[in-house]
Structure 1
Amino acid sequence: MDPASTDASDRITSQGSTTDSNPAFLTAAVITTLLATLFGAWYLVSSRRRRAANHAKSVVLVGAPDAGKTALLARLVHDAADAASKADPTILAPAEWALPPTVTSLAPAHVPALQLTRDVTVAVTACAGHDRLAATTAIALACAGVAVLVVDSRTLATTAGRRAAADRLVAALDAVDGWQRPVRVVIAATHADCTDALPPTKVLALLDAEVHRVRSVAQTSIGAMDDSTVRARRVANLASAAKQDVDRVSLADDLRLAVVAVSAVTGSGIHELRKRIAEGVLDVRR
């Protein structure tokens, strides 16, 4: 073998051995690997938080056709503009409120920026209520931080009306993980100014019974979907009441869902609805 080649090979081997046995080099390699791992974990967590924050800023209104979604959205926009003008004299006050004409549309209504409180501004979409657009509504709900189920409380007096509202409520709870974090779903009972409107407690009681029927018919085990603390509390409540239906989840007791009676005509309940939505947005951000 060529002596020069032998010397070069020996030098390379010697350098490799020196590198492998050099504590400083090994320490630097370990630190570099650790930093790369930490950066990757931080990037993953921050990306998820950014996505959650973007979802939190999205509010979706769902409900049957003619439930009052568009009118409710218009009232929310008007009252937000009115509040802003009162807080800042440089902002022009909106025109006097007038109920928009009833329009049954196949396209969603969208407001890119609606200020609910001083610290909470959201994008709001009112989805078309036709059943054949259920897939589009499901996509919107999947990207929503808070879902608002708009229900004409007067229709709950009929079996068909109760079933339709319960189906939409179950879909909203499923889409935004409302069984785990109920503050992300708000029920707005419209036409509160009408004499035949049902009170919020009655609306919640009717929906509670109908949602349980919908889940039972679908043969879905709600208990398996519940948060463990929710289920444990429900089981304890039922045991104390000597009941057997341990898989039933109460909208009022377990999920703490609230019904806000609102009227786009008079503006009653709009402030409370804005507050409830803002609470849901802040809950998603945490």
Structure 2
Amino acid sequence: MKTAMSEDRAFLTAVRKSSAPYLPPPLLRFLHAVDANFHLHHGTIASDYFHDEPSMTIMSSLFIAYVVWRSARRMWTSTTRRSTAHLSGEEDAVLGGLNRVVVGGGDERAGHSTSGGVRNIPPSFRETVVLCGARDAGKTALLHRLCNAKEKENAWDPPMTVTSLAANAGYICPWEDTSENGNWGNMTIRIIDHPGHPSLLSHLTTLLLPVATSRVVFALDATQPVTEGAALLYQYILTHSQVRQSWSKAGKTLMILVVCTKSDAVGAKNHKRMKIQLRNELDKLRKVDMAITDSSDTNITDRSKVMLPVKGKSIDLDSLGSDVPVSLHFVESGFGKDVEAIREFVLNGALLDVK
């Protein structure tokens, strides 16, 4: 026993001496203070449990605990389908469940259960609206809110959601404007909630073409910086050649409702500040692209990207120009606020009280 303790003490002392020249002075003073405190006030504990090297014993224990935690986390993620679905690179892993997953509630006539939840048979629908945005922007919660709009007069608690690696689908219909014998499929709108995980954004482009969607709801978290959302909007919509060319060729404009979510939270920014911040981030991305394009030492060109034209010093989000068939409109949303403007945009493209 004593031999083992002596070997441990010698090992820890050797580690301390060999690492000391590479450690910053403040850390060395902290380690010395820890050792002095243990030897002065807890001599027995230091001798019996810390092998006369309290600081090195504590640091070694923390390091081993970190290694064990990382190993356990990696083992857990490797055995769960949710954390590895995006690694295949296949579109089916992201969009394959759209014909099976139905989120919402309110009426059996549109394929919903009366209490909400998931059904195996989706209803027929007239148009598709894509709900996209950065991670944790509140997209799935907004999807639930829209699909349960009939319950807005009652107390409604937002569902607990997590970052998803597969798309969700929801269906809504303006029941108050229809008759009992109406054709629900002619009025039902499908909403595709595309995950915001960066590794899945390459699949988003196929949903943004005019043959796939009628309009887009773009979620931005009003309590967080807009950097990630701006990069998504810039790369996969505003400067994406396939998206721009397909809408121009169809003679249509891609209408995007930028929803500033969580606006009821403490510290949330209003839609005007969000719009300014979004414009500033888009300007930064455009300047980076211009610098890369003008650089003489690069021969790399991204064929999927086209430059965003600007008449003045900065991008005008109210008028992106004739070369960009995209129109942006801003609205605020929160669980303490009505989502009627968003719902009307989803149902028929109407812009009610939208800034």
Instruction: Tell me the TM-score range normalised by the shorter chain.
Output: 0.5 to 0.7
Measure how far apart 1:278 and its partner are: 3.9
Matched, 1:126 2:190: no
Match of 2:328 among 237, 250, 257: 257
Matched, 1:163 2:227: yes
Mark the CA change 1:95 to 1:82 in structure 2 (over 3 Å): closer, same or farther: closer
Match of 1:141 among 189, 203, 208: 208
Give the Cα separation in 2 of the matches to 1:201 and 1:164.
18
Give the Cα separation in 1 of the matches to 2:174 and 2:146.
8
Mark the CA change 1:216 to 1:120 in structure 2 (over 3 Å): closer, same or farther: farther
Mark the CA change 1:216 to 1:280 in structure 2 (over 3 Å): closer, same or farther: farther
Match of 1:222 among 302, 308, 312: 308
Give the Cα separation in 2 of the matches to 1:221 and 1:192.
32
Measure how far apart 1:213 and its partner are: 2.0
Q: For residues 75-123 of structure 1, what are the alpha-carbon distances to aligned partners after superposition, in whole Å with 9 as ceiling and x for unaligned?
A: 00111x348xxxxxxxxxx985221112222111111x31258485311
Measure how far apart 1:215 and its partner are: 2.4
Give the Cα separation in 2 of the matches to 1:140 and 1:101.
26
Match of 1:77 among 114, 128, 147: 147
Mark the CA change 1:203 to 1:56 in structure 2 (over 3 Å): closer, same or farther: farther
- Taking the TM superposition and a 5 Å limit, the aligned residue runs for 1:38-117 are 57-79=127-149, 81-82=150-151, 96-111=155-170, 113-115=171-173
The question of whether the paired residues in 2 share the 8 Å contact of 1:149 and 1:186 is answered with yes
Q: Relative contact order (alpha carbons < 8 A, sep ≥ 6): 1 or 2 greater? A: 1
Q: For residues 229-270 of structure 1, what are the alpha-carbon distances to aligned partners after superposition, in whole Å with 9 as ceiling and x for unaligned?
A: xxxxx85xx5xxxxxx4xx5400354762211101x22x141
Measure how far apart 1:163 and its partner are: 2.3
Mark the CA change 1:168 to 1:56 in structure 2 (over 3 Å): closer, same or farther: farther
Aligned residues: 190
Give the Cα separation in 1 of the matches to 2:197 and 2:261.
18
The question of whether the paired residues in 2 share the 8 Å contact of 1:150 and 1:188 is answered with yes
Give the Cα separation in 2 of the matches to 1:121 and 1:281.
15
Mark the CA change 1:201 to 1:256 in structure 2 (over 3 Å): closer, same or farther: farther
More helix by share: 1
Match of 1:196 among 267, 272, 291: 267
Matched, 1:209 2:274: no
- Identical aligned pairs, as a percentage? 25
Measure how far apart 1:65 and its partner are: 1.8
The question of whether the paired residues in 2 share the 8 Å contact of 1:56 and 1:146 is answered with no
Measure how far apart 1:212 and its partner are: 2.2
The CA RMSD measured in Å over matched residues stands at 3.2
SS at match of 2:148: helix
Residue of structure 2 in register with 1:42 after alignment: none
Residue of structure 1 in register with 2:221 after alignment: 152
The question of whether the paired residues in 2 share the 8 Å contact of 1:59 and 1:148 is answered with yes
Give the Cα separation in 2 of the matches to 1:249 and 1:116.
36
The question of whether the paired residues in 1 share the 8 Å contact of 2:126 and 2:187 is answered with no
Give the Cα separation in 2 of the matches to 1:192 and 1:201.
12
TM-score normalized by structure 2? 0.47
Give the Cα separation in 2 of the matches to 1:115 and 1:55.
9
Give the Cα separation in 2 of the matches to 1:151 and 1:116.
26
Measure how far apart 1:136 and its partner are: 1.9
